[in-house]
Chains A and B, each alone.
Chain A
């Protein structure tokens, strides 16, 4: 791995984003609008307090998944990926560069959405705010890693967008947001045990209920999934193609 190339790649990805004001605005503003909408729907009552933290985990995961999968698909289809791989570019340099760039956006996104939820929208949590924000950023990175991996299996942007209902919505349904995971039918509960978003939402719930939350196990699992997906993503980058 080369630090020079990784940093250059992260800077390049951010520079591309900076030319696309609308996407940046959507990435930062949409989660805030959705949280506000939900707060309004539940009139800021106890249901809002229950699901608010989970949504702080879910929104960055979804948005980063979409943005990353399309960005990497473009890299593959425009020929720039082949060009980079014919240069002294390590596969991890590229993947980590992407993760750093979108991770930086995720930090801003988490600060805005978290600040809004905990401040003006009065989300009631027992644990420290920085743990909630930290989990939100890790979930965004999980979305980045999943998006990088999935882009290898899509031949077009149409297909990539279809991966969203296929891979993200089931995790959303089974993560414990709608029905607590312990109350799910046995088979579904077992499935939810192997989905990364379940652990992200568990960590958020723990941070919400306990003043001194122990979330390390859940965080380790989420980070493990993210690293595993990045490693799988690296295997889909081929220097030689037919």
Chain B
């Protein structure tokens, strides 16, 4: 196994033009990050994914102004939009109109567009923070295992195996179920969001941990680490100054690919009713309400598509990022 940034031998066969682009002009030094960025710029699909991701983040950040302009408060009932006999929305495709861009929910008539926009915040917040937590745990344990080797590696390796084979969702369901309404100085949905971040992050670190461990194993044998060691550098210096900077690219790539997994995880927990408590809107929660109204395509489609588009965009962007940093996996 070689380091992810080692493009020697593969760069020319992957994208000869990127290496030869400077021929004729004065020869410029290019950092590996710049080479990766040039490759990424050429990957239209990955760029499209990246743009969607950026838009989604903007939507999540500016959800309240967006809702106030294009929708109505996500918790507001609109009984006038509901047929009192069937309790289903009046009008075309679940009440799609200029006022309700994606229609309204059955029974209480809440605006679906506003609820989806409001739900994006929770999905992305939990997706990002849980990923940061798994990256912190995974990188620490992976670097320690790979760098020190021996029994430390054995113990951490076994731990990763155990976590990888664990029925995560099952334990997450159980944990989310036993948490009381008030604990650790938090209560209500604040506590639930914190718990979800902790549960998802704590259970999904081994995938990053394995990759970091593998990369560290190969970095440890490289000449520059030997050089630092022979100059008398301490472990801490080698880890933070020599090993970690070289791990940033793979960590970034796999963190990007872990975010969509974690978003799906949150949606699944909310769908099962052990995520964030209603009436706070979440995409998974909206789908779980839609189960009872399968005859209403808009009620199922819009929240489902919100999850799908988000997860797909992150996956496309992450795949492109990985190919850009390491063309051999292509």
Indicate whether A and B interact: no
User: Which residues of A approach B to under 8 Å, CB–CB?
Assistant: none
